[in-house]
Every structure is written in C-alpha cells, then in structure tokens.
Amino acid sequence: MYELDGLSYNKVGNELESYLSENSDYSSGLLYRGTTKDEFSKWMNGVYIAQRFVPTSHVVSNTEDFGKYIIEIHGGYGKNVRNIYQNKNEAEFLINRGSTFEFISEEGGNKIRVRQII
C-alpha cells in the first residue's frame, strides 16, 4: 500500500477496486457504520448516494469507535477487507463508491436504518 502514497483519492480508489475484484468476495447482509453527526444527517434524506467507499462492519460494537451515530445497513453488499487490513478484528467490509441507500427509519436519536439499493 505504500506505493499508493501521494496518489489522488480517485487513483487509490481505482487501485483498491481492482485489487478487491481479484482478491475478495462480496458479502451481503446486515452491516453497521459508525459516523459523525454531519454524515449521519446526510443519510436521513430519503436516498443517499455514496461518493466514497463506505467502510462498515457486521459487528455493531466495532463501529462505535468511529462515531456515536450508527447507521444500520440492511442488505449491505460489500467486499470483505479483513485479509488486507491491519486490524482484522474490525470485521470490515467496504461498500463500493456510487452505492445507493434508501432511508427506512430513525431508531432513536443516534441510530438509523437504511437499505442498500444495488
């Protein structure tokens, strides 16, 4: 990964997508994302289109370290990156750039449910 230092986000993203297409399988199911209040609010407006990769975990307690606002993603469809990521305990899955999500409901003040639309 050090050879990617200094490259633009788009070039790194393209390299990552290429690597994952050859070295990781898609997995679908319930995924979670911990985030900030600013990002959280963007997901609550009906439909959200991710401009960047969406890092998630299938273990909700792992996401709480990344923000106190939790996004519960139903039908989450991402690539398992445990084999290339240093912290394998996070059980991390990356959802592709450009993925679309539909708001389902708010579950209290700091948790929402969304559905990934592939």
Give tens-digit pLDDT for 49-73. Answer: 999 999 998 888 888 888 899 999 9
What value does the mean pLDDT take over residues 25-45? 90
- For the chain, how many residues are written? 118
Q: Check residue 22 and give its pLDDT.
A: 81
How far, in Å, CA of 84 to CA of 74, rounded? 25
**Residue 6 scores a pLDDT above 60:** yes
Is residue 12 assigned to a domain? no
Domain containing 45 — which CATH number? 3.90.176.10
pLDDT bin (cut points 50, 70, 90) of residue 86 is: low
Mean pLDDT of the 21-25 span: 78
Q: Are 36 and 69 in contact (CB under 8 A)?
A: yes
Whether 14 maps to a domain, the answer reads no
pLDDT of residue 14: 84
pLDDT for 71 equals: 94
* 87 vs 115, higher pLDDT: 115
User: Which residues lie below 8 Å from residue 30, measured CB to CB, with a gap of 6+?
Assistant: 58, 72, 73, 74, 76
Provide the domain count of the chain.
Answer: 1
Range of the domain at 101: 25-117
The residue with tokens 């200094």 is 6
Lowest mean pLDDT of 3-7, 9-13, 40-44, 100-104, name the range.
Answer: 3-7
Question: Model's pTM, two decimal places?
Answer: 0.84
First to last CA, the chain: 28
Rg (CA), the chain: 14
Residue 84 belongs to a domain: yes
Contacts of 50 (CB under 8 A, 6+ apart): 95, 96, 97, 98, 99, 100, 101
